[in-house]
Structure 1
Amino acid sequence: MVSLPQRMRKLQTKLLAIRLGSGALVLPKDVKRIHMRFAQKIDGGHMGPRKFWRHELVRLKYHNPAVSMTIDRTASADDPALMSVHFAPADAPQTSEDSATSAPTPVTSTTQDSSPSSDTAAPTDRVQTIDMKHRTNSEILTELQRLTKAFPVEPTPEEREEIQMLEDHRVRSARDSKLSQEVRARQKREKELLEQARGDVASQAA
């Protein structure tokens, strides 16, 4: 049975993995929506978009809960893999809904091409697209950061300390596990030698 401290450390690690790492960016307030369209399968250059959706988009949404993020996976392998970034007009008034800390909107996944894209954007929106096909998830993230001028989230001193503490514990656990394996292997070998010696004695007595 896993102990409570072990469960807590596992939870801490998962929370840190969401808050920090690749995709932990704060988007400018003029970014209203991000829409991704790619194929369900990774063939034809759609692996990068899929990985971005699985990994980077989670952290991106965590730090930008008010930005609508929608996914359309109905594209075929031959179709383009596109990310549409919707910006508010330059003269649009800022409201409380534009804040990154306002009420979150969910990440929506669809199997129909009904999610917002550049073709269905409001006329006043400024939409720019990123060609994700045959690009890695890190390359897609770099292009998104360049396009939106988003800034990365840096760990706080407390988080750095927590990361170091978890890493120290991981190293100790790995070392202890290795020592335990060596002890068990030695005990097993000693048992085998003892059984062999007993067998030799028994055969000689016979």
Structure 2
Amino acid sequence: MVSLLQRMRKLQTKLLSIRLGPGAAVLPKEVSRIHMRFAPKIDGGHMGPKKFWRHELVRLKFHNPAIPMTLDRTAPQTDPALMTIFFADPEASPTSGATPTTSTSGDKEPSNYAPSSRTETIDMTGRLPENILADLMNLTNARQIEATKEELDTLRSLEEQRIRSERDSKLSLEVREKKKREEALLAQARGDMASAV
């Protein structure tokens, strides 16, 4: 069974990886929605968008919970992978008091904010996640989140603990292997003694 300290360390590492890293950025108020459309399989240049969705988009959503980020993975493999960024007038207010709908399928549209004043599209086909993120950051003028001193200290201590844990694991494995060899030699010696009698 995994100890409580190991589980807490793993959870803390996961939480920090969501709060920091590529995609940890605050989008400006003008961005009203982000919609991604790509194929379910990675063939035909759809691997980069899928990786972007799995890693960078999670951080973007964490830092921008009010911005709906929809996803449509029903595009044919031959279609281009596209990201559409909807910009609203910063002075416009939502049309109702409800929260916008966020959907992972293409059948629902966010409903309660003012219509977009403009849209921008990024062709993600055959591109790496870091290139897609760079285009998104440049297009929206998003502000990158920098790690605080406490977070950097926590990351450093977690890395030190991970290295120490790997070293201890190797030492423990060596001790177990040595013990198995000794037991095998003892069993072989007992077998030789029994056959001699």
Normalised TM-score (structure 1): 0.85
Q: Does 1:133 align with 2:125?
A: yes
Counterpart Cα distance in 1 of 2:167 and 2:180: 20
Q: Unaligned stretches of 5+ in structure 2?
A: none
Matches within 5 A, 1:1-206: 1-89=1-89, 92-93=90-91, 107-112=102-107, 114-115=108-109, 122=115, 125-205=117-197
Cα gap change, 1:9/1:105 in structure 2, threshold over 3 Å: closer, same or farther? Answer: farther
Identity %: 60
Structure 1 consecutive aligned stretches of length 4 or more whose deviation exceeds 3 Å: 103-107
Cα gap change, 1:60/1:140 in structure 2, threshold over 3 Å: closer, same or farther? Answer: same
- Residue type of the alignment partner of 2:183: K
Q: How many residues are treated as equivalent by the alignment?
A: 191
Q: Unaligned stretches of 5+ in structure 1?
A: 98-102
Counterpart Cα distance in 1 of 2:40 and 2:121: 20
Q: 1:39-72 deviations in whole A, cap 9, x for unaligned?
A: 1111211111111111111100000111111111
Aligned to 1:7, the other structure's residue is in SS state: helix
Counterpart Cα distance in 2 of 1:23 and 1:94: 27
Shift of 1:3: 2.4
Would you say the 8 A contact 2:101–2:109 is kept in 1? no
Would you say the 8 A contact 1:33–1:85 is kept in 2? yes
Counterpart Cα distance in 1 of 2:185 and 2:106: 63
Which one has a larger percent strand, Structure 1 or Structure 2?
1
